[in-house]
Structure 1
Amino acid sequence: MIHFEFDIALSAPGSSIATCATIGPRSFQVVAAGDDAKNIRLWKITRKESLLNLQGHSSDITTVAFSPNEEEVYSGSFGGTVIIWDLKSQRPISSLKGHMSSCTTIAPFPAGQQNYLATGSTDCNVKIWDLRKKACVQTFKGHRGPVNVVEFSPDGNFLASGGVDGNIKLWDLNTSRKIFEFSISNSPITCMSFNPQHLTIASGHQDRVVQYWDMENFGHISSTAPDSLPIQRICFDDDGTVLFSATNDSLKSWDIEHGDLSGVYETTWRGVEDLKVNSKDGMIVGLSINGTSFAYWTQDLNANTAAARIEEQKVVPNIPKAKKKSKSDMMTSFVAANSEEPVGLDVNDFMPRNALPVENTEEIINEIYKNHSSILSVIKRRTENASLVVSYWARGDVNATISALNMMNDISVTADVLKYSLVDSKAEGLNLEHCALIVNLAKGLIDSKYESYIRTGINVASLMLKQFRDIVTSTLVAPVMGGVDLSREERMRKCENCLIAFTSIYDSPSLAKNANRENQVGALAKELQKSLETFIWETKR
């Protein structure tokens, strides 16, 4: 690893501390750095003196970022103001004001789409700025603490924000709505990075772990083993197959495809501020800050500490590979109903883990039978649970049936019982209260990845809508008469619960994704989506 050191004080008299710095994402040869004397300075690698000094903030600089083409620099300050600088004229283009306290992070739009800018702040808000209008066009609220990082998806359709509260919020920029929230612990998020090729995102945390998330399923994929110090920066290579993570004393690379720790690099840096992959030159470049100076580091990606890699691999959990897909293919992972594998069971979980000796048939049989009891116990448990719940239904105790399904929290049993009780037979004795509870169970099936479960969920929701649509609509839109009518108020409450349950399915990303499928499930989902849209509109007339 080689590096160049730059002393802020030599080029910026009066300043004492470098507060932030970033590397140019196009050339990897320029650095923008802010200091506590309200300066933003531009440096060229290999030159000790700064190229220019930008001044205009009234408080300390807290964060800086380059535009993708390196023609502009964006700087945020302790007071919350963000200034857009034109590097050619060395003048500010605009000053963006709206945050009530320190601007902590800035994210430019992906290359070729430089009309918008995202910022986060200690005021717990995320803002989207239109650089043409020089104004805030959207404020996203919801974080319960300072926002530490914001990041646009490579296609520019989504924005992710992570904060001290440990939550990653995924925002749909086309609808200006939060579509999901990732959270696995309360550990503050220090950095994030979208995979440039896959529908995944990685987050670094204060608890020294990198978490890997699936934007397709809106779920957690895996975690790395805890590092020695909190994760400071992470990034992917251009192919999206390698993830790099940096702490204040280490740099590691992770093979996403095989789930292995692929490299441990020797470092002497402290205070990592930026990390980027320069694929053209086969290097990873980084910035570190130490008081009055910062250092620019380069590391040959083909060189790593093999001994350390072998030792560390022993404690690294698997990180599954995510399939490469385009934005238009952002669909829930899907297991077709005609799959030869049993629904909801992974046969590999019951197979021998180690290679078996071909010459010894008896040993092979014994090894296979080691896991035989496991799969039998799983099947037995499912059968017993399903039989118990069906017995409740058979004697007409709908409340006990629904209560048992909720307590078991077994999606396979829920799918079997609802299919047997509602889809394959005539449902009788149901009321408004049952409707809301059953629709919530159906949503869980629609949110799953198995085609047979999804189809059952859609069919159940459709049946409930058909059976209770008229009474819910007529009750909610009927004019309110004078006096107190307790029975009507109770009926209103139950109808409102039904509406909430149906609306949760209509708003669910899973229904929208399934409606885009070109199969029977897609046709059923489209029909339900259309019926729900009309129903919800009718209740608001």
Structure 2
Amino acid sequence: MATPVVTKMAWKLQEIVAHASNVSSLVLGKGSGRLLATGGDDCRVNLWSINKPNCIMSLTGHTSPVESVRLNAPEELIVAGSQSGSIRVWDLEAAKILRTLVGHKANICSLDFHPYGEFVASGSQDTNIKLWDIRRKGCVFRYRGHSQAVRCLRFSPDGKWLASAADDHTVKLWDLTAGKMMSEFPGHTGPVSVVEFHPNEYLLASGSSDRTIRFWDLEKFQVVSCIEGEPGPVRSILFNPDGCCLYSGCQDSLRVYGWEPERCFDVVPVSWGKVADLAVCNNQLIGVAFAQSNVSSYVVDLTRVTRTGTVAQDPVQDSRPLAHQPPPPTAPLRRIYERPSTTCSKPQRVKQNSESERRSPSSEDDRDERESRAEIQNAEDYNEIFQPKNSISRTPPRRSEPFPAPPEDDMAIAKEAAKPSPAMDTQFPVPNLEAPPWPQPVTSTPAPKAEPAIIPATRNEPIGLKASDFLPAVKIPQQTELVDEDAMSQIRKGHDTMCVVLTSRHKNLDTVRAVWTTGDIKTSVDSAVAINDLSVVVDLLNIVNQKASLWKLDLCTTVLPQIEKLLQSKYESYVQTGCTSLKLILQRFLPLITDILAAPPSVGVDISREERLHKCRLCYKQLKGISGLVKSKAGLSGRHGSAFRELHLLMASLD
């Protein structure tokens, strides 16, 4: 008898270059598990089909980096929130902007579509939660209660509740009908990054940077159980569609949990690093992660994963998918959601002359919508996915077949067939550069003959302001010379986006310069920090760093928290500026700070000395917080490694 081929339990599916600059957010469509949306620092939202190399659609209109994206359940609408606080909704089937929603005063950190109504919820760094009616562009209600940034929002399956997770270590449950908070779930000791409702029962799960997952009973409003000992901060969790278990995307592994009692059913090694989102389709779990401008996708074969209290069947002995095997004899312990029998239709555009909303055609929102575009990049994939085959439903082939796994015992063939994933071939042309090939699973599709240009993953510019991003790719030496008109049209690609970014930055710098002319350096730095744009802070610090005499002790108290952000930045120029500023502070003020803190207390009242002592204590506390970061980066190689090692030596006296 022939030995059956044993395939992998988990494997890397694909790696693509998703944006011209760094990826800042991404989400999988939960209905199909095959549609991926990415938001980038280039202010775009790009749509992809998992395991296909080319961008399907690119959505423009935002003028600042896209911080959060979300697809609705039918995957017909997408909403994206930006760093400036604006929200845009696109109709994917019609390939056009649907709504622009403005009202938040800071970054949009979280979004979710109502499961049955034409509403969107948004959570922001301004601590507010807003419920929007996307039919009329209006904010229906504002929920206030969190004291820090709202990191995750989820509607309950019946559409009656909204759960929110925030950096203030709390989870809150809001009643949409009453417009008020129903319950608050304390218990986490760190920022809460994700919440998920059980698909059937009155149960809520929350994950936090304190490395725990907590389960909450939504009838008794109390904790059911707590999973402790996660290998790192919890960033992504997902209930199995039938509710039998919870998946947690951990650092380089997938963990499968039960909650009554709390237990771990299985641990699957997956080399995805920090996975950002999960989805389930065809008994496969899809996980996606991003680093700089690259997005990677991974697959876990759930037919080989233990998802209940019993051991999973060996696929060699029992080839039936788990969905077709007898379910475990368990009954729901809690109440079941009551879902409406009908769903609401997709929102339509409101006419300009309607009684409910009279707006001037020249209003700012309408101008934003005219400037927002949905550019179809790949017509074949777009028609396959978004154009309905009949008036009743869409049945695209992308939902039918699972992803094939490469054989575990045939790695030589897998390596031979591995080819680089093509980048977007029309949207972001750059000169052809050498790049390592991305590994691909073994498939029957023949390998491409030529390798397309790859956008470099390492970037220093925050918004892709590199000239080569807007120049045509040099494909072959024998390329025919372009006529002037064609050359100019290619050079102008991305010009509008670049102008918008530079205009916004220039406006912010003008605000800071107006304060600078008064001669008050401290107030100038305060105004730059208040703008909440690190690029402006970097520009100002580059000026202050050139003249050490401008530095004062009270300036250090404002700049040190910003330096901590710069040292953790993904941009090389930001890290370099942060190192330079920190070195100046250590050389100029650290001896003074340590001497004042070590001095004996004075006799009598000396207000100026007390103020100076308070500033020194604050600076010392901030420097202690930064010292751990500097120590962790001192082992890096290259120029930044030597800079961090020098800073580590200068900070030795803090210990």
Q: TM-score, normalised by structure 2?
A: 0.46
Tell me, in whole angstroms, the C-alpha distance in 2 between the residues paired with 1:237 and 1:215.
19
Matched, 1:3 2:12: yes
CA contact (8 A) 1:229 1:249 kept: no
Give the root-mean-square deviation of aligned CA atoms. 2.2
The Cα offsets for residues 184-234 of structure 1, whole Å up to 9 and x where unpaired, read as: 133110111001111110000101110111111010111112211111111
Aligned to 1:155: 158
Tell me, in whole angstroms, the C-alpha distance in 1 between the residues paired with 2:93 and 2:134.
17
CA contact (8 A) 2:40 2:65 kept: yes
Aligned to 1:107: 112
Flag the structure with higher helix content: 1
Residue from 245, 249, 253 that aligns with 2:252: 249
- The one-letter code of the counterpart of 1:88 is E
CA contact (8 A) 2:158 2:338 kept: no
Matched, 1:215 2:218: yes
Equivalent position SS for 1:101: coil
Residue from 167, 180, 185 that aligns with 1:182: 185
For residue 2 of structure 1, report the CA deviation from its aligned partner: 2.5
Equivalent position SS for 1:302: helix
List runs of 5+ in structure 1 lacking aligned partners: 311-319, 330-541
Tell me, in whole angstroms, the C-alpha distance in 2 between the residues paired with 1:6 and 1:91.
28
Residue from 323, 333, 347 that aligns with 1:323: 333
For residue 62 of structure 1, report the CA deviation from its aligned partner: 0.4
Residue from 233, 238, 254 that aligns with 1:235: 238
Residue from 123, 126, 135 that aligns with 1:123: 126
Residue from 199, 217, 220 that aligns with 2:202: 199
The Cα offsets for residues 483-522 of structure 1, whole Å up to 9 and x where unpaired, read as: xxxxxxxxxxxxxxxxxxxxxxxxxxxxxxxxxxxxxxxx
The Cα offsets for residues 322-345 of structure 1, whole Å up to 9 and x where unpaired, read as: 61423479xxxxxxxxxxxxxxxx
For residue 258 of structure 1, report the CA deviation from its aligned partner: 5.4
Equivalent position SS for 1:272: coil
1:263-302 to structure 2, matched below 5 A, reads 263-278=266-281, 281-302=282-303
CA contact (8 A) 1:170 1:181 kept: yes
Tell me, in whole angstroms, the C-alpha distance in 2 between the residues paired with 1:187 and 1:114.
33
Tell me, in whole angstroms, the C-alpha distance in 2 between the residues paired with 1:321 and 1:246.
27
For residue 178 of structure 1, report the CA deviation from its aligned partner: 0.6
The Cα offsets for residues 445-469 of structure 1, whole Å up to 9 and x where unpaired, read as: xxxxxxxxxxxxxxxxxxxxxxxxx
Q: Structure 1 pair 252/102, CA: closer, same or farther in 2 (3 Å)?
A: same
Aligned to 1:86: 91
Tell me, in whole angstroms, the C-alpha distance in 2 between the residues paired with 1:71 and 1:26.
11
Residue from 115, 131, 135 that aligns with 1:132: 135
Residue identity over aligned pairs, in percent, reads 30
Tell me, in whole angstroms, the C-alpha distance in 2 between the residues paired with 1:37 and 1:191.
26
Aligned to 2:6: none
Equivalent position SS for 2:276: strand
**4+ long deviations beyond 6 Å:** none
Tell me, in whole angstroms, the C-alpha distance in 2 between the residues paired with 1:207 and 1:131.
36
Tell me, in whole angstroms, the C-alpha distance in 1 between the residues paired with 2:91 and 2:117.
13
Q: Structure 1 pair 321/182, CA: closer, same or farther in 2 (3 Å)?
A: farther
Q: Structure 1 pair 241/284, CA: closer, same or farther in 2 (3 Å)?
A: same
Residue from 42, 60, 65 that aligns with 1:37: 42
Tell me, in whole angstroms, the C-alpha distance in 2 between the residues paired with 1:168 and 1:258.
22
For residue 292 of structure 1, report the CA deviation from its aligned partner: 1.3
Aligned to 2:448: none
CA contact (8 A) 1:8 1:16 kept: no
Tell me, in whole angstroms, the C-alpha distance in 2 between the residues paired with 1:95 and 1:288.
28
Structure of larger gyration radius: 1
Tell me, in whole angstroms, the C-alpha distance in 2 between the residues paired with 1:101 and 1:321.
45
CA contact (8 A) 1:283 1:301 kept: yes
Tell me, in whole angstroms, the C-alpha distance in 1 between the residues paired with 2:292 and 2:164.
28
- The one-letter code of the counterpart of 2:239 is F
Matched, 1:224 2:254: no
Tell me, in whole angstroms, the C-alpha distance in 2 between the residues paired with 1:321 and 1:77.
43
Matched, 1:49 2:54: yes
Q: Structure 1 pair 185/305, CA: closer, same or farther in 2 (3 Å)?
A: closer
Tell me, in whole angstroms, the C-alpha distance in 2 between the residues paired with 1:102 and 1:321.
42
Equivalent position SS for 2:303: coil
For residue 47 of structure 1, report the CA deviation from its aligned partner: 1.5
Aligned to 1:303: 304
Aligned to 2:81: 76
1:466-485 to structure 2, matched below 5 A, reads none
Tell me, in whole angstroms, the C-alpha distance in 1 between the residues paired with 2:332 and 2:259.
8
- The one-letter code of the counterpart of 1:35 is G
Tell me, in whole angstroms, the C-alpha distance in 2 between the residues paired with 1:121 and 1:322.
35
CA contact (8 A) 1:67 1:114 kept: no
Tell me, in whole angstroms, the C-alpha distance in 2 between the residues paired with 1:92 and 1:156.
25
CA contact (8 A) 2:225 2:260 kept: no
Aligned to 2:72: 67
Aligned to 1:27: 32
CA contact (8 A) 2:225 2:259 kept: no
CA contact (8 A) 2:211 2:231 kept: yes
The Cα offsets for residues 243-297 of structure 1, whole Å up to 9 and x where unpaired, read as: 111123221001345543111011111231111222xx11111111111111122
Tell me, in whole angstroms, the C-alpha distance in 1 between the residues paired with 2:188 and 2:73.
33
Tell me, in whole angstroms, the C-alpha distance in 2 between the residues paired with 1:325 and 1:239.
15
Tell me, in whole angstroms, the C-alpha distance in 2 between the residues paired with 1:123 and 1:250.
33
- The one-letter code of the counterpart of 1:44 is S
The Cα offsets for residues 332-365 of structure 1, whole Å up to 9 and x where unpaired, read as: xxxxxxxxxxxxxxxxxxxxxxxxxxxxxxxxxx
Equivalent position SS for 1:62: strand
Aligned to 1:18: 23
Tell me, in whole angstroms, the C-alpha distance in 2 between the residues paired with 1:284 and 1:258.
24
Flag the structure with higher strand content: 1
Tell me, in whole angstroms, the C-alpha distance in 1 between the residues paired with 2:49 and 2:177.
38
Aligned to 1:399: none
Q: Structure 1 pair 5/182, CA: closer, same or farther in 2 (3 Å)?
A: same
For residue 69 of structure 1, report the CA deviation from its aligned partner: 0.8
CA contact (8 A) 1:257 1:321 kept: no
For residue 303 of structure 1, report the CA deviation from its aligned partner: 2.4
CA contact (8 A) 2:213 2:227 kept: yes
The Cα offsets for residues 31-77 of structure 1, whole Å up to 9 and x where unpaired, read as: 11111101111111222111111110010000111111111111110
- The one-letter code of the counterpart of 1:302 is T
Matched, 1:164 2:167: yes
The Cα offsets for residues 66-121 of structure 1, whole Å up to 9 and x where unpaired, read as: 111111111110011110011123221110111100000111112xx141111100
Tell me, in whole angstroms, the C-alpha distance in 1 between the residues paired with 2:102 and 2:36.
25
Q: Which one scores higher on RCO, CA 8 angstroms, separation ≥ 6?
A: 2
Tell me, in whole angstroms, the C-alpha distance in 2 between the residues paired with 1:258 and 1:167.
23
Tell me, in whole angstroms, the C-alpha distance in 2 between the residues paired with 1:254 and 1:321.
17
Tell me, in whole angstroms, the C-alpha distance in 1 between the residues paired with 2:141 and 2:50.
37
